[in-house]
């Protein structure tokens, strides 16, 4: 195992924290306005990060090619974010500041993020709100016409801006409209229904991609001076998650196999209040705002296998486990604690519903106390959504909830400029690792995606293009040919297996291993076992998968097969990373490392670093590089919720 030396340079600027970004922007070389049109930039993904980056780079004059797998850039999964977006505007005069947002984010990430990146994020958060409001994003407003805020995710200040329960949708449509303007102006060439299948590296620099047109199946080469991956997270490694069906790790993982390092793959956030799994045909999970825990009481029956209707179970036979175990926080413990305890009671056989993997979230007492109209005003839309999906009325009987995989904090390693260790390859939004540490706070994902795309990359990309000597390259270059050949061979190999099991059956099998052993709580034995099982599933996949149809066609089985094949390699790295991180931090709970009260126990002496992995070939061990995290501005403390 080699460690950090000359390989990883995070390029964090010198100077006081509050001045780093301004000073860095000044120090970065600029591309002359007339020269910007000479540069071609590829942006993969059209979520908040990708759409905002493509729009802004187009406005600056670069030639942008944008890619998404959906039929329109407006549909990327950022659209599903409900709650809001944080910004240190302090419009409420309640003591917020850039420094406080910075501090909350570093602490919330359990001291596993980079101070300088997080501070910059908090700084530009205020510009994001200005930009979005100017675009016409219909944020919630007060009667005086000014912007409304709410407190979110346990924050002590009201810094969250929102647009009903559709904040992600409205922010994405804002970025999409900015992008559409540039498409209309001819500065962005849009490639919808197109999937990046590999990264093309020429002389050690990212210079293009190989893509597949998902309608015709045609394999295409695209050359550029820089490639931006804005391809989201890898939550679908678990099969069931709140991610969209097409969310996948392929673009990031292909880049990893071409030399880009992957950081902290074990950090995955599990959201506590989702609608539980109904059976084997379940395809995805739906999240409900965790604000429900403000009034709902979480419980399970005290007796195993108690099949009575919940309303028939008297209080004396109910186990309000969060209230009993965490008397001061009760039902409002943080996401990771709530999720872990739900799993524990279900593993003990106390779970409810058909599958036994659910707990009750009961509004009976709140309705008795405040009356139904008050509860309806607060949660009416959520109750309606719950009833639509489950057919049950939460005013009359408790909801059933269960945790679900929601967000991945890990991602491709990037320096302060958002550039990976591969020159010319930039990674933005959820796809990178840099800002959330081991746990992301509510309403911070939207902030980071837009910060990266609107405000960070326009400055740092220019710095790269202005200083790097980029030789002219065309798609006839040997590297393009070779990479395309490998892509085609891989597709042919998938089609040639002609076994007897469907792609989904492998994905479900993988998801179960991941959820059981690399999920909410992990331990050494389970993680070692997971690596073996993943390897075995992968081997069977390549001998027994059945992919119908042809390559040169609209082929859904083939699309899925390629993505699942990558998950079957990548998940092994997730398990390996979790195994080597012998501490508990943020969303990564190792059962061996807990306090006497059963709380997560961080080990700052030995693990205050980002684990950054270099790929050495499938089935071979990875090389770990460490980026030591130094905290010069905040004091490392232990979280406690008792």
Strand-pairing partners, residue 627, are: 610
CB of 625 to other proteins, least distance (A): 34
335 carries an active-site annotation? yes
At residue 356, φ and ψ (nearest 5 deg) are 80, 5
Report CA-CA distances (Å) from 183 to 52, 73, 385: 13, 11, 36
d(CA 245, CA 266) in angstroms, rounded, equals 21
**Cβ closest to other proteins, residue 309 vs residue 620:** 309
Question: Sign of the C-alpha dihedral, residues 18, 22, 27, 31?
Answer: positive
At residue 462, φ and ψ (nearest 5 deg) are -60, -40
**Cβ closest to other proteins, residue 132 vs residue 268:** 132
Of these residues, 335, 400, 563, 602, which one is catalytic?
335
Q: Which of 62, 47, 35, 44 is nearest to 200 (CA)?
A: 44
Q: Which two tokens stand for residue 82?
A: 């409900």
Q: Which of 486, 431, 477 is nearest to 227 (CA)?
A: 431
CB of 64 to other proteins, least distance (A): 13
d(CA 203, CA 205) in angstroms, rounded, equals 6
Q: Which two tokens stand for residue 552?
A: 């040169």
**Cβ closest to other proteins, residue 132 vs residue 206:** 132
Q: How many CB atoms lie within 10 A of CB 585?
A: 28
CB of 139 to other proteins, least distance (A): 7
CB of 227 to other proteins, least distance (A): 21
**Cβ closest to other proteins, residue 216 vs residue 637:** 216
**Cβ closest to other proteins, residue 303 vs residue 389:** 389
**Cβ closest to other proteins, residue 72 vs residue 543:** 72
**Cβ closest to other proteins, residue 90 vs residue 291:** 90
Q: Which two tokens stand for residue 451?
A: 């910060």
CB of 186 to other proteins, least distance (A): 10
**DSSP sequence for 97-156:** -HHHHHHHHHHHTTT-S-HHHHHHHHHHHHHHHHHHHHHT----B-TTSSBP-B--TT-S
**Cβ closest to other proteins, residue 175 vs residue 573:** 175
Q: Which two tokens stand for residue 389?
A: 């999906």
CB of 355 to other proteins, least distance (A): 10
Q: Residues near 73 by Cβ (< 8 Å), separated by ≥ 6?
A: 46, 50, 51, 66, 176, 179, 190, 192
**Cβ closest to other proteins, residue 456 vs residue 612:** 456
CB of 181 to other proteins, least distance (A): 5
Q: What is the DSSP letter of 618?
A: T
Return the residue matching tokens 């309606």: 384
CB of 454 to other proteins, least distance (A): 5
Q: Which of 531, 524, 268 is nearest to 406 (CA)?
A: 268
Q: What is the DSSP letter of 240?
A: S
Report CA-CA distances (Å) from 242 to 78, 202, 398, 642: 11, 37, 22, 29
**Cβ closest to other proteins, residue 386 vs residue 641:** 386
CB of 151 to other proteins, least distance (A): 19
Q: How many CB atoms lie within 10 A of CB 597?
A: 10
Residue 198 · residue 254 · CB < 8 Å: yes
The dihedral region occupied by 240, where left means phi > 0, alpha psi between -120 and 50, and beta the remainder, is beta
CB of 353 to other proteins, least distance (A): 7
Count the residues in the chain.
642
d(CA 108, CA 104) in angstroms, rounded, equals 6
Residue 275 · residue 355 · CB < 8 Å: no
* 3-class secondary-structure state, position 526: helix
At residue 46, φ and ψ (nearest 5 deg) are -130, 30
d(CA 272, CA 114) in angstroms, rounded, equals 26
**Cβ closest to other proteins, residue 286 vs residue 603:** 286
CB of 565 to other proteins, least distance (A): 16
**Which residues are the active-site residues?**
335
């Amino acid at each position: 195992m080699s460690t950090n030396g000359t390989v990883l340079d995070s390029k964090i600027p010198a100077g006081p924290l509050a001045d780093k970004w301004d000073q860095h922007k000044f120090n970065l070389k600029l591309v002359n306005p007339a020269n910007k049109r000479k540069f071609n930039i590829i942006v993969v993904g059209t979520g908040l990060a990708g759409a905002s980056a493509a729009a802004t780079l187009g406005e600056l004059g670069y030639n942008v090619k944008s890619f998404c797998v959906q039929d329109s850039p407006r549909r990327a999964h950022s659209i599903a974010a409900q709650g809001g977006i944080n910004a240190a505007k302090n419009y409420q005069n309640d003591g917020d500041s850039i420094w406080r947002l910075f501090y909350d984010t570093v602490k919330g990430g359990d001291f596993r993020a980079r101070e300088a990146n997080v501070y910059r994020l908090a700084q530009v958060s205020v510009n994001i709100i200005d930009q979005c409001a100017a675009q016409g994003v219909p944020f919630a407003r007060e009667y005086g016409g000014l912007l409304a805020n709410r407190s979110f995710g346990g924050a002590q200040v009201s810094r969250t801006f929102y647009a009903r329960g559709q904040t992600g949708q409205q922010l994405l449509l804002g970025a999409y409209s900015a992008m559409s303007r540039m498409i209309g102006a001819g500065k962005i060439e849009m490639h919808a229904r197109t999937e990046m299948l590999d990264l093309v590296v020429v002389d050690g620099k990212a210079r293009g991609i190989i893509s597949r047109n998902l309608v015709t199946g045609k394999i295409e080469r695209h050359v550029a001076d820089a490639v931006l991956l804005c391809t989201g997270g890898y939550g679908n490694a678990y099969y069931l998650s709140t991610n969209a069906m097409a969310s996948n790790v392929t673009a990031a993982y292909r880049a990893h196999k071409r030399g880009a390092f992957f950081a902290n793959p074990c950090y995955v956030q599990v959201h506590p209040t989702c609608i539980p799994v109904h059976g084997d045909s379940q395809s995805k999970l739906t999240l409900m705002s965790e604000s429900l825990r403000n009034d709902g009481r979480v419980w399970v029956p005290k007796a195993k296998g108690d099949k009575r209707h919940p309303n028939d179970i008297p209080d004396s036979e109910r186990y309000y486990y969060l209230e009993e175990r965490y008397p001061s926080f009760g039902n409002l413990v943080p996401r990771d604690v709530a999720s872990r305890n739900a799993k524990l009671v279900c593993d003990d056989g106390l779970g409810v519903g058909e599958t036994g993997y659910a707990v009750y979230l009961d509004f009976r007492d709140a309705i008795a106390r405040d009356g139904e109209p008050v509860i309806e005003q607060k949660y009416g839309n959520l109750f309606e959504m719950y009833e639509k999906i489950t057919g049950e009325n939460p005013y009359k009987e408790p909801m059933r909830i269960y945790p679900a995989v929601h967000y991945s904090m890990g991602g491709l390693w990037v320096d302060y400029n958002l550039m990976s260790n591969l020159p010319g390859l930039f990674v933005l939004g959820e796809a990178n690792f840099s800002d959330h540490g081991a746990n992301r706070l509510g309403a911070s994902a939207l902030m980071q995606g837009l910060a990266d795309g609107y405000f960070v990359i326009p400055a740092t990309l220019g710095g790269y293009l202005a200083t790097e000597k980029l030789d002219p390259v065309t798609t006839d270059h040997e590297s393009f040919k070779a990479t395309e050949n490998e892509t085609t061979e891989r597709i042919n190999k998938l089609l040639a297996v002609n076994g007897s099991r469907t792609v989904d059956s492998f994905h479900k099998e993988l998801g179960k291993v991941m959820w059981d052993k690399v999920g909410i709580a992990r331990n050494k034995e389970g993680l070692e076992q997971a690596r073996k099982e993943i390897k075995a599933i992968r081997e069977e996949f390549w001998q027994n998968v059945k992919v119908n149809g042809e390559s040169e066609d609209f082929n859904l089985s083939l699309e899925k097969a390629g993505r699942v094949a990558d998950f079957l390699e990548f998940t092994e790295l997730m398990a390996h990373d979790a195994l080597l991180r012998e501490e508990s931090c943020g969303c990564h709970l190792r059962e061996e490392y807990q306090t006497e009260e059963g709380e997560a126990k961080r080990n700052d002496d030995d693990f205050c670093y980002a684990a950054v992995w270099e790929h050495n070939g499938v089935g071979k061990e990875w090389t770990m590089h460490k980026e030591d995290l130094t905290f010069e501005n905040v004091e490392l403390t232990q979280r406690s919720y008792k």
